[in-house]
Amino acid sequence: MKIGYARCSTDEQDLTAQIEALTRLGIGADYLYTDAGYTGTNRDRPGLREALAAASRPGDELVVTKLDRLARSVPDARDIVKGLTDKGVKLRIGESVHDPDDPTGRLLFNALAMVAEFEADLIRARTREGMAVAKAKGRLKGKKPKLPPGQEGRLVELYRTGDHTVGELAQDFGVSRATVYRAVERASDRTMAAS
């Protein structure tokens, strides 16, 4: 039996191309598992868990369009393949079936896994770089406060009187206790900056 697996890193990305490719490789809709919004570095993916559980009998094939859809790190890729091999399940990457007993096949598999991991590292580096540039330009400011400035000011005033607990303020303003603490902290930061 052929079991297909497709993954994309964000909910905005589309799995259509992978699903069509897996269908062309002979995967039926009932045996197609997907994850949207999960990175390849995250091993705890519901679709992957289901696909690995479905590919459980000797002779089954787990099919992915590219190795980086399965894993974005060399250790994860190796662990997944070892688990499949121990069950007698083959891994098909596109048109090629991975043979763990073939030295050339193992070399190519490890090279593909290293490229997938390298790509994940590049993505993380570019993201950090972009966030640093945005922060330097003042564009990275974090989440907007839950309360409008006037309400937040009133909340801080009430907090400073000492007549209300954080829990009471949170309930009265319809926010979490953490929001109350953040509002008080922001007000303190503004007071310190003004001095």
In a domain, 53, yes or no: yes
In a shared domain, residues 174 and 115: no
In a shared domain, residues 114 and 180: no
Domain total for the chain?
Answer: 2
Residue 107 sits in which domain range? 2-122
In a shared domain, residues 174 and 83: no
In a domain, 166, yes or no: yes
In a shared domain, residues 30 and 80: yes
What is the model's pLDDT at position 98?
Answer: 87
DSSP one-letter string for 131-182: HHHHHHTT----SPPSS-HHHHHHHHHHHHHTSS-HHHHHHHHT--HHHHHH
What is the model's pLDDT at position 32?
Answer: 96
Residues assigned a catalytic role: 9
Q: How far is CA 99 from CA 84, 89, 109, 136, 140, in A?
A: 11, 11, 9, 49, 47
Rounded Cα distance, 153 and 64, in Å? 54
In a shared domain, residues 21 and 98: yes
Task: Kindly give the parts of the chain with pLDDT less than 50.
Answer: none
Q: Summarize pLDDT for 4-57 with one digit per residue, the tens.
A: 999 998 877 889 999 999 999 999 999 999 999 888 888 889 999 999 999 999
11: domain CATH number?
3.40.50.1390
In a shared domain, residues 23 and 84: yes
In a domain, 142, yes or no: no
In a domain, 140, yes or no: no
In a domain, 132, yes or no: no
- Length in residues, the chain: 195
In a shared domain, residues 80 and 8: yes
In a shared domain, residues 63 and 107: yes
Rounded Cα distance, 187 and 58, in Å? 64
